[in-house]
Structure 1
């Protein structure tokens, strides 16, 4: 439940901040009449995200076991790739996200109402589709469809509240630090989702080694115990992973975490050459 709460909080807060920046900029520039098309784009993005999540859930339920495992494994790997790209992108752009969005909004205002709807739709829709995909794969990994969804919903609700407080100026935090440390925790969650995806592909006979276990500590950490459930829910921990699962988990987690936590290199400013002046006569 905590892992999915973190996903909902992190992804939802990104979308909430995007909406807050867009709304605040329209209000500040005396463009309140343009708020309706902005909210139209946001509503369409939310509807698309919900429809995508429903399609994943109900569409996969009609598949055979092998096809369902192949689909789940493939989407797990895709979601990990998207989340990895997202955490690195936000780490790099968190400081100037506001100016970037305002620039896009200026261009949309110059074109017209339709462009404003499209701008807000794509700004929020990308986050929504990533959230739907990652939450779905994380829920499949835990094998419990109720508590993970509750955790994700609570995370989304929390992100909306935080976004509203940011807009009102009642809450100020270092967003760069926030996204850095929640991003590090998401990398750990993503490693578990990736391991689960590999196991799915092994069950679908797409990858070998299903019965070659790296270790089995089920007697020490029973999967149905409260601490086994906690570890599975937070880190997608499995007490009896295959060798391939373990190798892929380590090959992803170690380098990605190291590169993510490395300090960012300061941007180098290239000095402009001094303009040559005509010689005095």
Structure 2
């Protein structure tokens, strides 16, 4: 039971942290709960379908179907998160001004929510399919108490994700969009690095030195802090050179794009009284 709980916990934690960052980044956007909830439901449904067709997937890609599937999902999520980061660079000030001045939900972010719905769905799809495949294998091997382990893992992983979300909401509004945008950039870079690792495993990309360093003695990939750092900032105790290339390229592309867009956007002016009303510290 506890082996099942640990694996499910790690998979749920990865999806939960991604969902938490997305939910916090869309704070104040109208109907964001509906979009995020729909993304979770779509991802869970897709995970079941992927698990049922696992044999066909592996056969279609000569045994590397799982690696290609994971890499494809991760790269799609990187593109969608990147689009949202650039969109927020253009509209973030406006959203912040409206939230501070009116203290009500902002509706102009709905277009970006469609892409973030897909990011949530892809995160749940990838982690959910791995959970289902693992549980199927454990059941075939005669393992017992699967439901107990599943329940413990889901509750524990979701609880940690919610704790991160609650912490992000405590950030003062004047810093909120800057912080969450930075988290999304690091999240996208980490996902790109992980996609590169899957492509290396499938022998579709050269490793370019494997590993570049080994920091497992300080922070192992399998530990809870290491797993959390891997999800949020792309930490890897033993990365390949190609992973670093993907990571740095994604960081640079989003940073340059945001700077270019941010430089074209006129500064938003918020009255001191409105800012004081919106800041929880006041």
- The number of residue pairs the alignment matches comes to 220
Q: Which has the larger radius of gyration?
A: 1
List structure 1 runs of 4+ shifted beyond 6 angstroms: 102-105, 138-141
Shift of 1:82: 0.7
Summarize the alignment of residues 188-199 of structure 1 with structure 2, pairs less than 5 Å apart.
Answer: 188-199=186-197
Structure 1 alignment gaps of length 5 or more: 22-41, 106-118, 163-170, 269-281
* 1:223/1:239 contact within 8 Å kept: yes
The question of whether the paired residues in 1 share the 8 Å contact of 2:46 and 2:125 is answered with yes
Is the contact between residue 221 and residue 227 of structure 2 (CA under 8 Å) also seen in structure 1? Answer: yes
Map 1:183-222 → 2, pairs under 5 A: 183-209=181-207, 212-222=210-220
Cα 1:70/1:181, change in 2 over 3 Å = same
- TM (norm. structure 2) is 0.58
The match for 1:58 is: 48
**Could you say if the C-alpha distance between residues 140 and 210 of structure 1 is closer, same or farther in structure 2, counting changes exceeding 3 Å?**
farther
Would the alpha carbon gap of residues 172 and 226 (structure 1) be closer, same or farther in structure 2, given more than 3 Å must change? Answer: closer
C-alpha separation in 1, matches of 2:84 and 2:256? 16
Residue in 1 aligned with 2:222? Answer: 224
Alignment of 1:1-281 (within 5 A): 7-13=18-24, 17-19=28-30, 45=35, 48-61=38-51, 62=54, 63-64=57-58, 66-97=64-95, 125-134=114-123, 146=154, 148-152=157-161, 158=166, 173-174=172-173, 177-209=175-207, 212-225=210-223, 227-257=225-255, 259-260=257-258, 264-265=262-263, 267=265
Q: What is the TM-score with the length of structure 1 in the denominator?
A: 0.58
Q: Deviations over 1:250-276 (max 9, x none)?
A: 2222453355467933657xxxxxxxx
User: What's the CA shift string for 1:93-128, capped at 9, x where partnerless?
Assistant: 1333569xx9999xxxxxxxxxxxxx98x7754432
**Is the contact made by 1:138 and 1:193 (CA closer than 8 Å) also made in structure 2?**
no
TM-superposed CA distance for 1:222, in Å, is 3.2
Instruction: Tell me how far apart the structure 1 counterparts of residues 254 and 112 of structure 2 sit (CA, whole Å).
Output: 26
Deviation at 1:83, TM superposition (A): 0.3
CA RMSD between the two structures: 4.5
CA positional deviation for 1:86: 0.3
Cα shift at 1:12:
2.0
Q: Is the 8 A contact 2:17 2:164 kept in 1?
A: yes
Distance 1:51 1:104, change over 3 A: closer
- Return the offset for 1:72: 0.6
Deviation at residue 187 of structure 1 after TM alignment:
1.1
Flag structure 2 segments of 5+ consecutive residues without an equivalent: 1-9, 100-104, 135-152, 267-282
